[in-house]
Amino acid sequence: MDRLHSLTESAGLKRMLSLKDVLYLLLALAAVALVVKFLKDKHGRSRTWLTSRPRSPDPEKTSTNVNTYAEKRTKQIERLPGTWQPSSFKRPTAPPLSNWSITDSKPLPYRPFRHGPNHITMGLRTMHWDEWIELDNHYLRFHTDKARRIAERGSKCCKTDASDPRVWDGAVELFEELAAYLPERYPSMFTKTDVGVDNVVTNETFNVHDLTMNGVTEDPMQLSARLIQDDLAIMFEREDGQYYLLAGAILLAGFWRLEDKFGMPLSLIHTSGDVPGFKQKLEKGMMNFFRRVQPEKPVLRNNYFLQVDDDLAWSNSIGSEDSTVEGELGWFTAEKNRAIQHHHFRSERQSLRRLPRSGGVVFTIRTYFLPVTEIAEEDYVPGRLAEAVRSWGDDVAKYKGRERYGDVLLEYLDQKHEEQVARGLQVEREEDEVRGYPY
């Protein structure tokens, strides 16, 4: 009996252990399921966050298709050419740029060139509204240069077609937009007032109702240009479906003059400037984009040039800005193979957006201007820039003047690249260490 009782007790214990084991197993499986669900949800949220700020297309790669991108960023609106129904869209309020300083905030390091073959595209990417206008510690230099240019050249650089009420309203609308945006984004520099905006750094008061700066009436495009570092241009559609440059403040363009292009349609602006590949690769997509772009869908693009003098406003190496004789301006006038100390890297960050009230398409054109000897000290830059310059087709090379400076520039860039490799720079790690295009 004792043995039987012992066996019975042992069997019961085994059953108890078996039940406990099953319970533990079920709990363990439940815990694993919860962990898997948590990781899946977290991954999903991460993917959502990543895709909420889309990766910029690389304009140096063949996968960037201007027509496809324009279709994604725009929608077809059934309207007659030259007409526009005002939109109710309001730009989102811009958050203040944290830690921004007129003395300490450096220009963003745009380096919009890549390894591999050069492809001609518009190179559009999404613009986030808080990033519309970029200001930095070069502001006062730009502001001074603009003020000097306005005093010296006036309407040659800043002009609005006052014969068309829609154009004038568009120029005023841009001024109003800037006067609203700047105090939001840069509150340490701009203060919103009942009549407009004050620049507390330069002691300038802007009245958007009277179109004045410190009490003096000016063209609205000129007033807008005084506020920021960018040049400005507004294109308006006419009954023929073409977009015309009818308002502009082009003060620091380097290579082109507003007076030459004012009143021209978009296509003629590009063909008269011999823009490479415009007719074959850009015109159709660009016209579609301008026709369809909506106020809520702003975009950005970048480009770059080389310059063999140090004048931000006008590159005198291509001829006198006051030349009136056709054929006198061009790279053919530049001194060939000047020393590398004269070579400057000139990059533009352009934003494009449609103004909701007037329907004008406004460009902001911010120039970044640095000595080549300065950017060549940055890791990977000399090797990448040298490859990019060598990849230009004959038409691009002619347009950008490579024949006048290429030998000196490429010899210097190759030397700096070799120095970087010799000190241990691992070229194969560039894609991992360098931020994506256009940096």
- Please count the other Cβ atoms lying within 10 Å of the Cβ belonging to residue 400: 21
pLDDT of res. 29: 60
pLDDT of res. 245: 98
Q: Where are the beta strands (DSSP E) in 80-126?
A: 125-126
pLDDT of res. 61: 45
User: Given pLDDT bands bounded at 50, 70 and 90, which one contains residue 373?
Assistant: very high
407-431 in b/e burial notation, b at 16+ Cβ within 10 A?
ebbbebbeebbeebeeeeeeeeeee
Mean pLDDT of 64-88: 67
pLDDT for 260 beyond 80: yes
Q: Is 354 helix (H, G, I), strand (E, B) or coil?
A: strand
Range of lowest pLDDT (70-84, 211-225, 244-258, 262-276): 70-84
Show the tokens assigned to 206: 């802007």
Show the tokens assigned to 243: 């977009």
Mean pLDDT of 257-283: 88
pLDDT of res. 282: 80
Query: Distance between CA 278 and CA 284 in Å, rounded?
Result: 9
The chain-wide mean pLDDT, for the chain, equals 87
CA 223-106-175 angle, 5° bins: 15
For residue range 127-178, list pLDDT tens digits in order. 999 999 999 999 999 999 999 999 999 999 999 999 999 999 999 999 999 9
Range of lowest pLDDT (13-27, 242-256, 349-363, 414-428): 13-27
Burial label, 169 (beta-carbon count in 10 A; 0-12, 13-18, 19+):
middle
- DSSP conformational letter for 87: P
Name, in order, each residue with C-beta under 8 angstroms of 272's C-beta and a sequence gap of 6 or more: 260, 261, 264
User: Given pLDDT bands bounded at 50, 70 and 90, which one contains residue 271?
Assistant: confident
pLDDT of res. 426: 92
For residue range 17-55, list pLDDT tens digits in order. 455 554 555 565 655 555 445 444 444 433 333 333 334
Please name which of 98, 361, 368, 379 lies closest in space to residue 252, comparing C-alpha atoms: 368
Please name which of 272, 301, 287 lies closest in space to residue 363, comparing C-alpha atoms: 301
C-beta of residue 211 within 8 angstroms of C-beta of residue 171: no
C-beta of residue 166 within 8 angstroms of C-beta of residue 234: no
More confident residue, 64 or 429: 429
pLDDT of res. 59: 43
pLDDT for 72 beyond 70: no
User: Given pLDDT bands bounded at 50, 70 and 90, which one contains residue 16?
Assistant: very low
H-run or E-run covering 371? strand 361-371
pLDDT of res. 379: 96
Amino acid occupying residue 418? E
H-run or E-run covering 404? helix 402-422
The residues with which 158 forms a beta bridge, in sequence order, are: 249
- pTM of the predicted protein model: 0.82
pLDDT for 367 beyond 70: yes
Query: Distance between CA 280 and CA 89 in Å, rounded?
Result: 35
User: Given pLDDT bands bounded at 50, 70 and 90, which one contains residue 230?
Assistant: very high
- Please count the other Cβ atoms lying within 10 Å of the Cβ belonging to residue 207: 19
Phi/psi at 371 (nearest 5 deg)? -60, 140
pLDDT for 14 beyond 60: no
pLDDT of res. 60: 42
Mean pLDDT of 292-315: 96
- DSSP conformational letter for 130: G
C-beta of residue 62 within 8 angstroms of C-beta of residue 119: yes
Query: Distance between CA 175 and CA 208 in Å, rounded?
Result: 7
Q: Where are the beta strands (DSSP E) in 141-241?
A: 158-160, 190-192, 196-199, 204-207, 212-213, 216-217, 231-237
User: Given pLDDT bands bounded at 50, 70 and 90, which one contains residue 435?
Assistant: confident
For residue range 85-132, list pLDDT tens digits in order. 999 999 999 999 999 999 999 999 999 998 888 787 888 999 999 999
